[in-house]
Amino acid sequence: MATPTVRENGNGLNGRPRGQVSQEKKEQQENIFLFIPNLIGYARIVLAIISLYFMPLHPRRCSFLYSVSCLLDAVDGVAARRFQQSTKFGAILDMITDRCTTACLLVFLASAFPRWAILFQGLISLDLASHYVHMYATLTMGGSGQSHKKIDEGRSWILKQYYSNNNVLFTFCALNETFFIALYLLSFSSPLISPQLLETVPAQNGTATKGQLFMHPWSAGAMELARANKLDSTVPWILAGISFPVMAGKQFINVVQLVKASRWLAEGDLAERKKLGLPRKKKNI
């Protein structure tokens, strides 16, 4: 005798209680984009964009907003663990925000200190390249479920210590940004490293005034006049001196990360070529 088919009715679906079905639908409708850590990530982006708007002429506002955006980087990780909302999207959002905000600040520094522009361009390239190659190597060689922060100590002891300890990671990232923010503030306060664009010329009455070249509101000269002697340079110099060793260490870690990830990809290439029997021996004609 054939078993009767259980049909959907008002009391359940395929024999399951309505409450269970509703719970399953609720779980299926979970919106990753509205997770609390990701909302914090969006807030970081908004704050960073506003800070960039104030960056050319308003150092205090820019520094405050930029710093808050950076500090929220630690908050979203705590929220992800607290609410069990760690996601791959959140990890990528966090990394992209970090790379883009730092790159934008370095672009400004390259324009503020044109003599050192090539150095800042190199730092941007190193930061982007090391993190991209590291992420790609992790996904390719470690599998799609592998996190870029899970490092095998046998592959790199330095990266293991850097990524496995949240306090170490936060300290390096925070002081790295502190150094660049300090340089940004020094561009508004220190004639030693930010020489004035306009020459000071003597006036007819014997007092010194600044030249009036390029006085259009959006000209380089007008920006220089707005920046000149606007801040005291004591605190920025102290911040730069304290954070410089850590910033230098962060760049060294970026180099190690780039080299290790490149070698990991090369190992995968060699294994794949061996699997395919490459290079194939040419037949003698």
By annotation, the residues acting in catalysis are 98
Residues 111 and 54: their CA atoms lie apart, in Å, by 15
Q: How many alpha carbons lie under 13 Å from residue 167 in its C-beta half-sphere?
A: 0
Q: Side chain identity at 245, as an amino acid letter?
A: P
Residues 261 and 142: their CA atoms lie apart, in Å, by 11
Residues 70 and 68: their CA atoms lie apart, in Å, by 5
Of 139, 141, 149, the residue nearest 98 (C-alpha): 149
Q: How many CB atoms lie within 10 A of CB 279?
A: 7
Residue 161's SS3 state is helix
Q: How many alpha carbons lie under 13 Å from residue 28 in its C-beta half-sphere?
A: 6
Give residues with Cβ within 8 angstroms of 50, minimum separation 6: 65
Copy the structure tokens of residue 146.
Answer: 């592998």
On the 0-12 / 13-18 / 19+ scale of CB atoms within 10 A, 79 is buried
Copy the structure tokens of residue 220.
Answer: 């380089």
